[in-house]
Chains A and B, each alone.
Chain A
Amino acid sequence: MKPLLGNWTLALVCGAAALAGLASALSVARASAGEAANAASSTATPMLRRLTEAQYRRTIADIFGTDIKIVGRFEPDLRSNGLLAVGTTAVSVTAGGFEQYEQMARNIAAQVTDGVHRDKLIGCAPGPSDPKGEKCAAQALARIGLRLYRRPVTAPELRWLTTSTLSSAAQLQSFDAGLAATLESMLSSPDFLFRIDERGPGGVVDGYSKATRLSYLLWNTTPDDELLKAAGAGVLDTPQGLAREADRLIASPRFAEGVRAFFTDFLMLDDIDTLSKDVLIFPTFTASVAADAREQTLRTIAYLLVDRNGDYRDLFTSRQIAMNRTLGPLYDIPVEKDGWYIHEFPEGDPRTGLLTQASLLALHAHPGRTSPTLRGKAMREVFLCQQIPTPPANVNFAVVQDVNNPTLRTTRARLQAHLDDEECASCHKLTDPIGLGLEQFDGAGQFRTREHDELIDVSGAFDKKPFANALQLGQLFHDDPRATDCLVQRALSYATGRELDSADMPEIAQLTRIFGDDGHRFKALMRAIALAPSFYALSAEPRSASRIVMQKGKGKRS
């Protein structure tokens, strides 16, 4: 597959102006049109968010059962400002995408109304007292509609849905088929595919919208019956009620799913789906190893941050990692147990911390070799929320190639040539030292001490602080306040589905304080966000579009 950041060249050339553009951890509103197109001009949380693929699947599983099959290709989610969650407020549905959604909806509806499932999921049928099935339809659709739309079905809606069911049933001469047709339309409707907020009193969203935001933040799925009931009863409109429900969700085992969903987005682990390595160079790294590497990272994080309720920063220094037999060969360790377990590497082992996990190491490398530049760039952008400036296009490599010694045996030696040139070095010195510190892990994340028979030097400096190896590099990340600051911002951005700007600074400061006071526990951060009033705020009038209006070619505007 293409490299993760497909438009990056290995060597960058930066000018002084570009260096000045190295953004600080807080991304303030930028000049580039691309960002302006998506920026919110207020701190209000957007009203329309498309379900991601993972959310769609979990929602269907929760409403109709895990045995309902979902067959189709989802519209790709958009990564915006580092998160797919932010992209959900930018995307709509293309024609190709809608075709797939409709097909999925049809399949789901057919399964829900089939002999195996209908008794449990529909629970009624036309009978002597209800010959056409009108009462049954109304009853079932009201109940299902509440779960699908994440709010009660209004009376006019219910009337239309029922009428439509009966008319379809007549055309198809089957009540169940008519019901399936209606379910199909509900599953294709924007009320299901998008999380649409309703205004409540006082400049915040209404109870059901709160339930939806809370549930997708903490469990990455649709609100359960209890939460919906609480919403209907007005419980979520009081601080105590909201806190009670938030605590219930956090205490549940399902909270781990929400944490996994956040970190999958934060660490861009969904890209492992399209990751492929050259099998001749890395025969150990097969597709199942890649999938397990992702699972490993998520399990490790769930174990450390949820099960053990640990300090986020310890992710960078922990010697504990989820492991199974498939990953044993990649990690060069004996694995006795079947299934997943928590492996603890001994003190001083090179495998220490998140930066040395195969998922991240393999993701930010080429199919056939490592890339210290890609790794260094990714570590800064993911963990420190930094923005590495884009390179100017005019790269003249004649300047940097050492023509007298074209065979440079280690990657460090190869890249040293890039650091010798001042222009290149201005950016490369930000990315390369970090990546070079990880060079003992090859392009598939396997440990080695030599490259072409030469010992690999993994020492370097990270923002003027020296480190001797990846272990110490992890410690530097652990100690860096930007890492925790960045996590707070990303979490808030993830929760609200938008890019942050200067108006969010007080909120960010507050959350950072809470996070720090509570030992940097991720649960505490999630809870604080879930209870922050700004999480539910809505602007007084519809947002004005601060982006440039699209110029359309000839053709009807629909």
Chain B
Amino acid sequence: MGAIRTALKSRGGPVPAMMMAGGAVLLGAADAPTGGDPSIRAFVISNFFIATSGDAGTCPILADGGIETYFKMLPAAERAKYARADDPHEIEQGKRGPLEAAMNEHFGFRRVAIKGVGGGGRMSEAVLPPDLAPGAVPTPEQALEIGRLNGFPPGRGRLAFSNLTVAYSSCTNPEDFPTLAKGFRTYEGPVAAGIDLDGKSGRHDFKGLDGGKSVDNQLWRAVGCVKAFRESSEPKIAKRLFISARAPTLIEVRGIDDPRNDPDVTVNVYAAADPVVRDGKGDALARASFHLDPDRTLRATTRGRIVDGVLTTDPIDLRINYKEQIIDAPREFRGARIRAELKPDGSVEGSVYGYYTLASYWSSIEQMTQNGANLTGVSCPGVKQAIDRLADGYYDKRTRRYTAISSAYNFVGVRAFIVGDREVAAR
């Protein structure tokens, strides 16, 4: 990118500007013009969500969550205590709490607070190891020690709930609770979102949403019948939902000569250090300015091209923030391609197709905690078994396992300005 251009036109008239090597624009002695640098378009992503299989992709039976599976395991008389009056196969909403308590008891789930966090369940003041500094986050070894000191089964005890507790449950140790995967269902429909990632036509491939062939999306196969994931990805809901709003992702396209058609642009993906906020209508506020999170592992650059207003990029490894309530599980995609429709109103709708690493995906599930999984109807063992079984990317010869799973995610965003690094560390 070393081209030098002169006299970039802004809408009000010629702007004395020079495009320098590396894409930085020097604008004489003045500050930014109305509209900002015309060769740059940036966006802040307000929601990043798994792409559904559309109307054609139904599940005859939806996957049961862990608590639903437990419910169904109960003998009839026991089950009736928690069932709805009008439907004995459904859990009565008001009885979910006691049912969860029974489930915890039955399976021996444990949870101790490290920092005197109050609350129901088995939370209590933990016995802590002497080498743990007050206020420090325990290491995994220290977590095991805390488990041992507090009567967890041997070799059990993992950090949970934003590192405020040490827990043992079907989400910390799914392999211990295979029965809770009994009610899990994978998606077996013919159609799924996504693209052909491996260039091969295999028996696990799907037909694409717009007729594409050999679509690789094993993640959807794995979790596409979990009700919570299907619903939150409904287009109407997904567009208004803000996920990771306190740490959104920015996509920047530089070197644009023509926003409708440009064979060669640079695409940067950044983590923002400022939150995305809502405007008066409740949508994401467009044209706000964002500083960059200085953490360089959250940045990536690749090349792209724009055809008829649609941007596509070369493959790239991405690591993007996913900080939502108690979850802080950056998503790692390998070999990801970005496709984005640059709309005339300045907003963007797009997709990321690539291999989601099992480690980072599973982390986001584990961090829901058993309680969170119960509330959203997710079976941690079910999900774990499915993704382990269906993983299809980035084979590790040493462990003889695939480490990533093909996937398709969508995103929506609005026009944004990027104004450089924050001096202080990101919040």
Contacts and interface: CB of A to CB of B under 8 A. Distances in A.
Q: Do chains A and B touch in the complex (CB under 8 A)?
A: yes
B155 interface: no
Nearest to A336: B419
A467 to B, nearest CB: 14
Contacts of B36: 332-334
B287 A328 contact: yes
Interface in A328-371: 328-329, 331-336, 343-351
B34 A350 contact: yes
Interface stretch (B174-182, B254-262, B275-283): B275-283
Nearest to B280: A279
Contacts of A319: 30
A410 interface: no
B12 A349 contact: yes
Nearest to A335: B289
A346 B418 CA distance: 19
Interface in A459-518: 469, 471
A280 interface: yes
B44 to A, nearest CB: 11
A348 B12 contact: yes
Contacts of A325: 288-289
B12 A471 contact: yes
B34 A334 contact: no
Contacts of A335: 289, 417, 419
B425 interface: no
Nearest to B28: A346
Nearest to A287: B280
B203 interface: no
A362 to B, nearest CB: 14
Interface string B310-328: 0000000000000000000
Given A284-B279, A328-B417, A336-B420, A350 B11 contact: yes
B13 interface: yes
A36 B239 CA distance: 60
Interface string B18-62: 000000000111111111100000000000000000000000000
B263 interface: no
Contact of B14 (A333, A344, A348, A447): A348
Nearest to B419: A336
A319 B15 CA distance: 13
A319 B31 CA distance: 10
Given A331-B34, A332-B287, A333-B34, A350 B12 contact: yes
A349 B279 contact: no
A344 B29 contact: yes
Contacts of B31: 333, 343-346
B10 A348 contact: yes
B32 A334 contact: yes
B285 interface: yes
A390 interface: no
A66 interface: no
A286 B278 CA distance: 11
A120 to B, nearest CB: 38
A202 interface: no
A449 B10 CA distance: 11
A332 B345 CA distance: 13
Given A284-B285, A336-B289, A347 B16 contact: yes
A72 B419 CA distance: 42
B15 A286 contact: no
Nearest to A448: B11
B18 to A, nearest CB: 12
Nearest to A326: B288
Contacts of B287: 284, 328-329, 332
Contacts of B375: none
Nearest to A329: B287
Contacts of B285: 283-284, 329
A285 interface: yes
Contacts of B34: 331-333, 345, 349-351, 447
Contacts of B279: 283-284, 286, 329
A286 B280 CA distance: 6
Most buried by B among A328, A334, A348: A334
Interface residues of B, number: 32
Interface residues of A, number: 30
B164 interface: no
Contacts of B286: 284, 329
B11 to A, nearest CB: 6
A285 B280 CA distance: 7
B283 A346 contact: no
Interface string A391-417: 000000000000000000000000000
A447 B32 CA distance: 15
Most buried by A among B33, B34, B285, B291: B34
A364 B186 CA distance: 60
B76 to A, nearest CB: 54
B280 A334 contact: no
A372 to B, nearest CB: 19
Contacts of A347: 13, 15-16, 28, 30
A334 B12 contact: no
A193 B228 CA distance: 65
Nearest to B14: A348
Nearest to A319: B30
Contact of B33 (A283, A349, A469, A471): A349
Nearest to A331: B34
B162 to A, nearest CB: 28
A431 to B, nearest CB: 24
B10 A349 contact: yes
Nearest to B417: A334
A331 B288 CA distance: 10
Contact of B281 (A283, A329, A344, A348): A283
A338 B36 CA distance: 18
A346 B420 contact: no
A279 B278 CA distance: 12
B420 A449 contact: no
A334 B289 contact: yes
Given A279-B281, A345-B31, A349-B33, A449 B11 contact: yes
B13 A348 contact: yes
A343 B34 CA distance: 11
A50 to B, nearest CB: 36
Contacts of B289: 325, 328, 334-336
Contacts of B291: 336
Most buried by B among A280, A282, A283: A283
A20 to B, nearest CB: 39
A420 B203 CA distance: 72
A302 to B, nearest CB: 19
Contacts of B15: 346-349
A104 B247 CA distance: 45
Contacts of B16: 346-347
Nearest to B278: A283
Contacts of A334: 32, 36, 289, 417-419
Contacts of B32: 333-334, 343
A318 to B, nearest CB: 12
12 contacts: A329-B279, A332-B34, A332-B35, A333-B33, A334-B289, A336-B289, A336-B420, A343-B31, A345-B33, A346-B10, A346-B27, A349-B10
Q: Which 10 A-B pairs have the closest CB atoms?
A: A348-B13, A334-B417, A279-B280, A350-B12, A346-B30, A336-B419, A283-B281, A283-B279, A329-B287, A283-B280
Interface of A: 279-280, 282-286, 319, 325, 328-329, 331-336, 343-351, 447, 449, 469, 471
Given A329-B286, A331-B34, A348-B14, 18 more contacts: A279-B280, A279-B281, A283-B281, A283-B283, A283-B285, A328-B289, A333-B31, A334-B289, A334-B419, A335-B419, A343-B31, A346-B15, A346-B17, A346-B27, A346-B28, A346-B33, A347-B30, A348-B12
